[in-house]
Structure 1
């Protein structure tokens, strides 16, 4: 007997502050990536589907995005200057 199926994992790529198209409020939006993998005997083997979405934290509306739209949102909201790693502090002068 072979046990097969699929499993979906959700990854939060970023939390962005945007104006919601549904409620019109400036609110936090979770940019998510849903990866569905084929499983054999409960072991995830290979991806069979990837979907991107963004969800408003205020009203809860979820909109699907293309991969290109998700990458564009990530690129627009990345910090220009990389922050210093945690644990490394600059000396006081």
Structure 2
């Protein structure tokens, strides 16, 4: 007898502050990656599907995003130089010449 099936894995890639499309509230959103893998005798062998989504932590609404959009959001969350990330502390304002 051969035992096979699928198993799902959920990865949290980043947390971003975005305006929710459902509740119109600026709130934290989690960027998630869901991978479904084929299993044989309860051993995961290879991925069958990969999906990306953001979920609002205020209202719970989930929105699907493409892989490219997920990569852009993850780069934004990492705070690449030249971009502003909400999770990083900002420098205090100093007057010129002070």
Pairwise TM-score range, normalised by the shorter structure: 0.7 to 0.9
Structure 2: distance between partners of 1:3 and 1:78: 41
- TM superposition outliers: structure 1 runs of 4+ over 4 Å: none
Q: Normalising to structure 1: TM-score of the pair?
A: 0.83
TM-score by length of 2: 0.79
Q: How does 1:55-70 map to 2 (within 5 A)?
A: 55-70=55-70
Aligned to 2:23: 23
Give 2:86's aligned residue.
none
- Please list every run of 5 or more consecutive structure 2 residues that lacks an aligned counterpart in the other structure: 82-98
CA apart distance, 1:79: 1.9
Partner residue, 1:6: 6
- 2:76 paired with 1:76: yes
CA offset digits 1:28-58 (Å, max 9, x no partner) = 1010000100000000000010000000000
- Structure 1: gaps of 5 or more residues: 82-93
TM-aligned CA deviation for residue 70 of structure 1: 0.3
